[in-house]
Amino acid sequence: DRATKRIVLVGEIGGTAEEEAADFVRRRVTKPVVAYVAGRSAPPGKRMGHAGAIIQAGKGTAESKMKAFADAGVPVAQYPSEVATLLASTS
């Protein structure tokens, strides 16, 4: 949409939606994007919130999602408080 100037993607551990979003951003999005992935401190194998938020066999980790965003050229906030600063630095 033409009114949108910047995009913030907020993800969580578990599943592959964030990796898919990172690939989509890399291929199709021309607006500045910043990402944040919740759950960096979640222990593997522990359910966090709902069944989709479980980390298994190294997939769905916060680190793998953050790497996918970084590989797609998307700045990744380490903490929610960094999102605004990263947005301000995008053009």
| Distance from C-alpha of 76 to C-alpha of 83, rounded to nearest angstrom | 8
Phi, psi of 4 (to 5 degrees): -75, 125
Residue 88's CB is within 10 A of a number of other CB atoms, namely 10
Question: 7-88 belongs to which CATH class?
Answer: alpha beta
| Distance from C-alpha of 22 to C-alpha of 38, rounded to nearest angstrom | 15
Q: How confident is the model at residue 46 (pLDDT cuts 50, 70, 90)?
A: low
What pTM, to 2 d.p., does this model score? 0.84
Mean pLDDT, the chain, rounded, equals 87
**Residue 63: its H or E element:** helix 62-71
88 is catalytic: no
Catalytic residue among 30, 50, 57, 81: 50
Domain residue limits, the chain = 7-88
pLDDT digits (tens, 9 = 90+) for 18-28: 999 999 999 99
| Distance from C-alpha of 70 to C-alpha of 60, rounded to nearest angstrom | 15
